[in-house]
Amino acid sequence: MNEPTRLPVGSKTQGPFPSEGVFRRADTAWFTEARFGLFIHWGLYSIPAGVWNGVPSGRNWYAEWIQMQGNWPHGIPAQEYRALRERFDPVRFDADAWMAAAAEAGMRYLIVTTKHHDGFALWPSRVSRFNVVDATPFRRDVVGELAAACRKRGLRVGFYYSHWQDWEHPGGARPYEENPAEPFLLHPQPSQQDFEAYWQQKCLPQVAELIDGYAPDLFWFDNWRPDPLLTAGRLDQLIGLVHARAPQCLINSRIGTTWNHPQGDAGVDYLSTLDNVFPEEAIPRPWETSGTMQRSWGCHALDFGWKPTGQLLRHLVDNASRGGNFQLNIGPRGDGSLPPPVIRRLREIGAWMTVNGEAVQGTRPVRLTAPSWGRLTMRDLPDGRIWYYLHVYDWHGGQALPALRVPGGAARCQVLETGQEVQVQRLGQDLIVTLPEEQADDRITVLRLEVQP
């Protein structure tokens, strides 16, 4: 017979992890409770959408890299790429509609590319005229409109800012691909002096502008490898700037501390995995995976590799069960509209979250290896009861799940979506849950198991 799955009891003294307090500077409670956020990649690159002069760009599917990967393997001449600004007039952009779609999907915060690697700012930056108001016919403050639309709905506001790669400023870092089979992206790197000029003239002032102008709740900086340009001194300076101006604003590990700081990630507030990487174990700090709906982050006209809604839901639940967040990316089109596959997925996720959101948001992980049939999360109620959420991926109607070792009193189990009572039997310290014949949702059906103290 299988070893019973042991569930932890009590919250205050037997939390799943040692105190996170030692790592914390800002209050991360809103972030971990939220569990689910929207990532948006949108900018000049959304206009060509992965295709340059009729030819699909480059080596991977990242449409936002078209400046480097279009006209493969040479890249697009800078002036030619930057001329896209004259065509940036997204008449269908509607910040309110985007954020309504996010809120209805059950997302609690936004992270938008205020400036991606191409160096183009989506707000009226006084530091660089390469921005949406000064350089395009659109002349609207996209960041400002999105921040206002978020706040209207109680969503938190997060900013992606490419602090390392900047292909507009001569001192910004350039792509560096070490793979000897594909040396095409070996661009000359700026000198330390040139990078310092970029850092002082563009990066730090723009981050300060974003904080002063929009009071973000979170920054998502983007680095993914060791680089001598990202010295510990520079990282401390950027972190210090955010701390000084916005003490409660969260900072992610991809600022570069993981690879470039002698103290590692001790000074940041949450860990970011690499793209679409979903850890297999719980992590005892606030953390997140940012993941795509298709392969590209930016809108890509030829990327038809859309992930099914069920897979996206599993990513969300997998991460929640391990104490992590999921930031699901969308790439709106160059005219500001959302592609139909994006709209459908957000709606389907929202329908699932409407009935099952309580099993994700505000829950904590259960400290054990994931069961073979699905995932577990839990919630402590003020009166001492505990709700365990059984996210069943693999449904065998009429069969009992392996015993759950849950000391305590009486137990009751229901299907969250339908309210159907589920048979649960106490055998000493073990609970035996027998799945009903019918499954409420063929992707993930959630059962709520209530245990009296």
290 part of the interface to ligand FHN, by CB under 6 A: yes
Amino acid symbol at 116: H
**Burial bucket for residue 106 (CB in 10 Å: 0-12, 13-18, 19+):** buried
- Identify which of residues 23 and 224 has a Cβ nearer to ligand FHN in the complex: 224
Stretch that binds ligand FHN, among 57-65, 318-326, 360-368, 381-389 (CB under 6 A): 57-65
How many beta carbons lie within 10 A of that of residue 451, not counting itself? Answer: 24
Q: Output the DSSP codes for 49-74.
A: TTEETTEE-SSSS-GGGHHHHSTTTT
Tokens of 161: 């800012």
Rounded to a whole number of angstroms, the minimum distance from the CB of residue 297 to ligand FHN is 5
Q: Which residues lie closer than 8 Å to 121 by C-beta, 6 or more apart?
A: 114, 115, 128, 130, 131, 132, 206
Rounded to a whole number of angstroms, the minimum distance from the CB of residue 62 to ligand FHN is 5
- Identify which of residues 252 and 337 has a Cβ nearer to ligand FHN in the complex: 252
275 part of the interface to ligand FHN, by CB under 6 A: yes
62 part of the interface to ligand FHN, by CB under 6 A: yes
Write the DSSP symbol of residue 199: I
Number of H helices, E strands in the chain: 11, 19
């955010």: which residue's tokens?
Answer: 242
- Identify which of residues 32 and 252 has a Cβ nearer to ligand FHN in the complex: 252
64 part of the interface to ligand FHN, by CB under 6 A: yes
- Identify which of residues 177 and 275 has a Cβ nearer to ligand FHN in the complex: 275
- Identify which of residues 64 and 141 has a Cβ nearer to ligand FHN in the complex: 64
297 part of the interface to ligand FHN, by CB under 6 A: yes
Rounded to a whole number of angstroms, the minimum distance from the CB of residue 104 to ligand FHN is 24
Rounded CA-CA distance 85/91 in Å is 14
Stretch that binds ligand FHN, among 58-66, 183-191, 200-208, 399-407 (CB under 6 A): 58-66
| Options 23, 184, 224, 259; binder of ligand FHN; rule CB under 6 A | 224
> In whole angstroms, what separates CA 453 from the centre of its chain?
36
Torsion of CA 236, 242, 244, 250, to 10 degrees: -110
The site for ligand FHN, by CB under 6 A, has a size of 8
- Identify which of residues 36 and 62 has a Cβ nearer to ligand FHN in the complex: 62
Tokens of 98: 């985007």
Rounded to a whole number of angstroms, the minimum distance from the CB of residue 96 to ligand FHN is 25
Rounded CA-CA distance 204/237 in Å is 9
- Which residues lie near ligand FHN (CB under 6 A)? 62, 64-65, 222, 224, 275, 290, 297
